[in-house]
A and B are shown apart, each in its own frame.
Chain A
């Protein structure tokens, strides 16, 4: 039982647990103290001084985001002194901010913009020197523009604490402080894994994805090309947010309709490829178990995770499944099986992807991601970029009639859908592995132990004669914890699922921005995952190997899972990376 304390905020008396901050206490009774640098659980540093309040008896104003409540505390949240101070601090931030608001990719979703409006910033009181900016768009995934950075530290902490990496940190001092990689190197010269979590937490436009919408528009305009698109499972769980739907609304049908309106020849689903991945990965796991291969086997769907392991845990590279990610498998199949079946010159097929992920933009550029001299995938846009394209094309998203995916590479099972949430790949694989091993068609196919947002999850399953120890980690700091336990011999597993982003793809670096205020009250990872699990529950087919299109693909084209052709098209390899000085 927590101890309660009594405090008064703006004349209102309340009783709250003593672990609360003043900010949390105020929000409990609907008093909204503005914040800027604060991001619950990720950045609680009291740096921006926008959330200051007046506390009776205190000499100075207090940052409410980090001030614990005390018995008898009397707080004023909007006295003249408080308002004046907030506004001045905000004006000071603005004076050193690149105010190209109208051409900024964050225009409309910028927290600084909103706050300036709400706090009544009107004067330009502090025009003067500006700190030296640094622009870096060399990474295929993340663009960094320090002229817009307001030094809130959210990206620093998400990278250091949540992801356990620490690519970004404060460099220089005082007025010249910038957030940058070591020695202000480019993101391409440091072991950035391109997960894009920094983009998701940036309140302004200092960190954004590399925009590839032009590549798509150009392809769509090109009559010589047959432009097809695949959508990753997590995209449908969040795209609606860009069009005013509440977080946790699935918009699969409207999304497909919008893509068709944009002019794609065929709209396919990465879920199909996720089912395919399960076929390959599930058989690979069984093969390793039976033939004494390297265990634990670790999933390879998340390109951020692949970047992480190649940089930080190369000693585990043999543990990675050799399967390409679903995105890449889709591309390889589209330019072979699909091309053959529909008699299209594979050279003329342009494969576009809509992904919740910015690392996917880098994945398609990896040297080994091609078959028969053709790149598996030609361009990647994020959920956010798709929303932009839909808006630019003036498609009235909310009034669209639901449409269905096209045939041959569009059918999917519930197993494919749940790939987008942490634990989903594991659950999907188990559904197939169990049937393959036992020869049964198991009814009970929900593995609740592997669901949820706990950082590291474990499950032990008896499958026929086999005992399978499984583990799941999401967010690379959690992944590191798990790998260290394996290294030390404390833990022993057969199969591990790892996703670079906390919560899995639903919270990927390419998903719609959710401002700090909303994040403070809702766990978006949970809400978006619900969309996927409920779609899974409603589908007639929920096991990858039951997907008729997958069955056809094997019988007509690939032969056996893990067979020769499958290996050629659907499997890949990895390599250790040097952390620094890559260009030298």
Chain B
């Protein structure tokens, strides 16, 4: 490797790629050539930086200058000013990276300062397509240590001691799972990685695989050694092409380096890894459905027991962990269980990655120590609610989780605490809602998702969630009665109690938690036939106020001719005819048309 004086890190995650980071890379190459800097500056295409809101992101080291929203036309300036002349281009920096003319490096920015990166350690740092970069950042040292210095049980004991719990949602103690699989009888065992991330808006696992695929390979090899497996599968959704591609490259490179295959580190241990692509069914994130899918069948959950630890892939003992769980493993082995369990809370050790979304300024990925409060995540790291709107709720756990309210903002984030509050950790989706969100509509959104994604196997989930959705539709249309609320509640609890798999058992959660915390909104819809957030179309009326100047613009644009009125006099909307499309609101030059 040659020595250079500057590194330009360009985010190559899915978000920044979508907003043009590939052309930025090309442009940088051109400019470096133009200014004859090719031998002095290196370009590194990295994984996700996390702050997707501000993409495409470019970070220049050694200064740690944090450029955001970079466009092709900015490249030449950055090259000439910064790389050639050594002057950071202030106006292109991320807004928080410059305060009163003082430039902050990327890790001093609020968004990053309070994060603790373990799973995302190498994301946005190394080029995921170059195994040497991973190795340079201690990569495969943990595997070496495990294979040459530790017994199988030593490894499992270390994981147990670390207190690591499954990051896919359930929070089951990982060490215990490993122990069960090791203890299970069988000549052939498998390790598998669940990369079928499906929660709407969640992309933690994608980012890890895009940014640091070797960490997963290393962790799976460690796990395979610990439980006595020699084959592994990564089940990943086909909608993650970049992640799949980088994982394929990583597997190839690991094979070349002898880090996968026969006699790894010249020991008796051999391990091979295969990729299985999922077709995008949410239910395939459920472990037994995932196994069915790996075996080539329709992804439908199997009854448990038997658990995968005893009868998994092809009825053989199988260890199945999620991507983020694996991402923690090499660090735990290298730095020790005590280091890991010193982070976080007593029963939820380490960190958790969240995908922050919704009504929040810094949309993106954050990794925080367990025990951080919701307020810190939303208002400090996340930068609060845009446009000065008022916080209403935060939804965690995706379609399986629940909503938390303003009074719960100072609660700590941990597995047990979130469950106690009526939500759950889930895989890490965190969606913030403000005063413009209707909570009945939010519940309906999530339920609509689970109705679509139900596999159709068991009655409560297949039939019951659909009936719940029908009741919610009625409520949102103002056609429900108070009795419907009881029916909704009964049905939700019955489904939770009797569905076959985790998807069905948790599907009612968004409804139950909004009914608990925002019951008044439900009642408002049912009794007053109103949606004060202004979301439920059927309950809204579009009205023309006294401010109308009689310009007839609204009348001309109305697609159903339901606005009447003479020129220069107050216009009126026929409520029976109005389809609430809102075209008139956009057209009115004096903002005299309102929704209420």
From residue 433 to 452 of chain B, which have CB atoms closer than 8 A to chain A?
451-452
Residues of A within 8 A of B461 (CB): 174
Tell whether A362 is near chain B: CB-to-CB under 8 Å.
no
Instruction: Enumerate chain B residues within 8 angstroms of A50, measured Cβ to Cβ.
Output: 459
User: Would you call B463 and A96 a contact (CB within 8 A)?
Assistant: yes
Of chain A, the residue at the smallest CB distance from B500 is: A46
Among A45, A46, A169, A174, the residue within 8 A (CB) of B298 is A169
- Counting CB contacts under 8 A, is B458 at the interface? yes
User: Which of chain A's residues have a CB closer than 8 A to the CB of B455?
Assistant: 173-174, 177
Q: Is the CB of B451 within 8 A of A89?
A: no
Q: Assess whether A126 is in contact with B463, with CB atoms less than 8 Å apart.
A: yes
B163 at the interface (CB under 8 A from A): no
Which A residues are CB-close (under 8 A) to B325? none
Within 8 A of A (CB), among B210-267: none
Q: Residue of B at shortest CB range from A94?
A: B463
8 A Cβ contacts from B458-493 to A = 458-467, 470, 487, 490-491
Encode B164-182 as 1/0 by CB contact (under 8 A) with A. Answer: 0000000000000000000
Closest Cβ–Cβ distance, residue B509 to chain A (whole Å): 13
Q: How many residues of B contact A (CB 8 A)?
A: 33
Known: A88-B491, A92-B464, A129-B470. A174 touches B458 (CB 8 A): no
Which of the residues B466, B487, B494, B497 comes within 8 Å of A174, measured between beta carbons? B466
The answer to whether the Cβ of B565 comes within 8 Å of any Cβ in the partner chain is no
B506 CB to closest chain A CB (Å) equals 11
> B463 touching A95 by the CB < 8 A rule?
yes
**A170 x B498 contact (CB < 8 A):** no
Report the nearest A residue to B464, measured CB to CB.
A92
Assembled-state Cα–Cα distance A50/B460 (Å): 10
Query: B467 contacts A126, CB within 8 Å?
Result: yes
CB distance from B295 to the nearest CB of A (A): 14
Q: Across the interface, do A63 and B500 meet the contact criterion of CB distance under 8 Å?
A: yes
| Given known A-B contacts A92-B464, A169-B298, A174-B466, A47 and B457 have beta carbons under 8 A apart | yes
Cross-chain contact A52 with B498 (CB below 8 angstroms): yes
Asked whether A407 is an interface residue with its Cβ less than 8 Å from the other chain, the reply is no
Partner of B466, one of A46, A89, A128, A169: A128
A125 CA / B458 CA spacing, docked (Å): 19
* Cβ-closest chain B residue relative to A174: B454
- Cα distance, A129 to B468, chains bound together (Å): 12
Q: B496: CB under 8 A from chain A? A: yes
Docked Cα-Cα span, A95 to B464, in Å, equals: 10
Please judge, given known A-B contacts A45-B457, A128-B470, whether A175 and B494 are in contact too, CB under 8 Å: no
Asked if A177 and B462 make an inter-chain contact with CB atoms under 8 angstroms apart, the answer reads yes
Q: Does A81 lie within 8 Å of B497, measured CB to CB?
A: yes
Classify chain A's interface size: 35 or more
List B contacts of A176 (CB < 8 A).
456
Whole-angstrom distance from the CB of A85 to the nearest CB of chain B? 5
Q: Are B498 and A177 in contact (CB under 8 A)?
A: no
Q: By the criterion CB–CB under 8 Å, are A95 and B494 in contact?
A: no
Residues in A whose Cβ lies below 8 Å from that of B453: 173-174
A49 near B: Cβ within 8 Å? yes
Docked CA distance A46–B494 (Å): 16
Check A47–B494 contact: CB distance below 8 A.
Answer: no
With contacts A128-B466, A175-B466, A177-B462 taken as known, whether A60 is within 8 angstroms of B498 at the C-beta atoms is yes
Q: Given contacts A49-B499, A60-B498, is CB(A177)–CB(B456) below 8 Å? A: yes
Among B457, B461, B500, the one with the most A-chain Cβ atoms within 10 Å of its Cβ is B457
A93 touches B467 (CB 8 A): no
Question: What is the CA–CA distance of A93 and B498 in the complex, to the nearest angstrom?
Answer: 14
B298, B305, B459: the one within 8 Å of A89 (CB): B459
A48-B458, A175-B451 as given contacts; A60 in contact with B496, CB under 8 Å: yes
Please tell me if B281 contacts chain A, counting CB pairs below 8 Å: yes
In the complex, whether B303 has a CB less than 8 A from a CB of chain A is yes
Q: How far is the CA of A47 from the CA of B455 in the complex (A)?
A: 11
Q: Does A15 contact B (CB under 8 A)?
A: no
Taken together as a complex, chains A and B put the C-alpha atoms of A95 and B494 apart, in Å, by 16
List of A residues within 8 angstroms of B381 by Cβ: none
Contacting residues, chain B, for A89 (C-beta < 8 A): 459-460, 463-464, 494, 498
Which single residue of chain B is at the shortest CB-CB distance from A169?
B298
B46 within 8 A of A: no
Do the beta carbons of A175 and B463 come within 8 Å of each other? Answer: yes
Across the interface, do B456 and A151 meet the contact criterion of CB distance under 8 Å?
yes
- B505 interfacial contact with A, CB 8 Å: yes
Q: Closest CB of chain A to B525's CB: distance in Å? A: 19
Least CB distance, A83 to chain B, in whole angstroms: 11
Chain B residues, CB < 8 A from A129: 466, 470
B-contacting residues, A37-60, CB 8 Å: 45-50, 52, 60
Q: What's the Cα separation between A84 and B451 when bound, in Å?
A: 23
Q: A49-B500, A92-B467, A175-B466 are in contact. Are A68 and B305 (CB under 8 A)?
A: yes
Residues of chain B within 8 A (CB-CB) of A153 are: 457
**Closest B residue, CB atoms, query A125:** B487
Q: When each residue 139-170 of chain A gets 1 if its CB lies under 8 Å from chain B and 0 otherwise, what string results?
A: 00000000000010100000000000000011
Asked if B159 is at the interface of the complex by the 8 Å CB criterion, the answer is no
B298-A170 in contact (CB<8A): yes
Given A60-B505, A129-B466, CB of A93 within 8 Å of CB of B459: yes
Q: Please determine whether A88 and B494 come into contact, CB atoms closer than 8 angstroms.
A: yes
User: In whole Å, how far is B11's beta carbon from the nearest beta carbon of chain A?
Assistant: 35
> Within the assembled complex, what's the spacing in Å between the Cα atoms of A153 and B305?
20
CB atoms of A174 and B467 under 8 A apart? no
CB pair A92–B459 under 8 Å, yes or no, is yes
Q: Are A175 and B456 in contact (CB under 8 A)?
A: yes
In the complex, how many angstroms separate the beta carbon of A306 from the nearest chain B beta carbon?
30
In-complex Cβ contact of B303 among A63, A88, A174 (8 A): A63
| CB of B104 to closest CB in A, whole Å | 48
On whether the beta carbons of A45 and B303 are closer than 8 Å, the reply is yes
Which residues of the partner chain B approach A110 to less than 8 Å between Cβ atoms? none
Q: Which residue of A lies closest to B282 (CB)?
A: A173
Question: Interface code B291-303, partner A: CB below 8 Å = 1, 0 otherwise?
Answer: 0000000101001
B505 touches A85 (CB 8 A): no
Which of A89, A172, A177 is the most central at the interface, judged by chain B CB atoms within 10 Å of its CB?
Answer: A89
Q: Which B-chain residue is minimally distant from A92 (CB atoms)?
A: B463
Q: For B456, what are the chain A residues with a Cβ–Cβ distance below 8 Å?
A: 151, 170, 172-177
- Output the nearest chain B residue to A90 by Cβ-Cβ distance: B459
| CB under 8 Å from chain A, chain B span 488-521 | 490-491, 494, 496-500, 505
B460 with A174: CB separation less than 8 A? no
State which of B298, B465, B487, B498 has its C-beta within 8 Å of the C-beta of A49: B498
CA distance A177 to B454 in the complex (A): 9
Residues of A within 8 A of B459 (CB): 47-50, 89, 92-93
Q: Which of A87-128 contact B (CB under 8 A)?
A: 88-89, 92-93, 95-96, 125-126, 128
CB-based contact B497/A60 at 8 Å: yes
Report if A61 contacts B (CB, 8 A). Answer: yes
Distance A49 CA – B466 CA, assembled complex (angstroms): 17
Mark contacts of B26-54 with chain A using CB atoms, 8 A cut-off: 1 yes-contact digit, 0 otherwise.
Answer: 00000000000000000000000000000
Asked if A436 lies at the interface with its beta carbon under 8 angstroms from chain B, I say no
Residues of chain B contacted by A52 (CB below 8 angstroms): 498
Q: List B contacts of A84 (CB < 8 A).
A: 494
Q: CB distance A173 to B454 under 8 Å?
A: yes
User: Nearest-CB distance from A264 to chain B (Å)?
Assistant: 46
Q: Which residue of B lies closest to A85 (CB)?
A: B498
Question: Which residue of chain A has its CB nearest to the CB of B467?
Answer: A126
* New A-B contacts (17) at CB < 8 Å, excluding given A46-B458, A175-B463: A47-B457, A49-B458, A49-B460, A52-B498, A81-B497, A89-B463, A89-B498, A92-B463, A125-B487, A126-B463, A151-B457, A170-B300, A170-B456, A173-B452, A173-B456, A174-B456, A174-B461
Residues of A within 8 A of B (CB): 45-50, 52, 60-61, 63, 66-68, 81, 84-85, 88-89, 92-93, 95-96, 125-126, 128-129, 151, 153, 169-170, 172-177
A sample of 26 inter-chain contacts (CB < 8 A) reads A46-B500, A47-B459, A48-B459, A50-B459, A52-B498, A60-B496, A61-B497, A67-B305, A88-B491, A89-B459, A89-B460, A92-B463, A93-B459, A96-B463, A128-B466, A128-B470, A151-B456, A151-B457, A151-B462, A169-B298, A170-B300, A173-B281, A173-B453, A175-B456, A176-B456, A177-B455
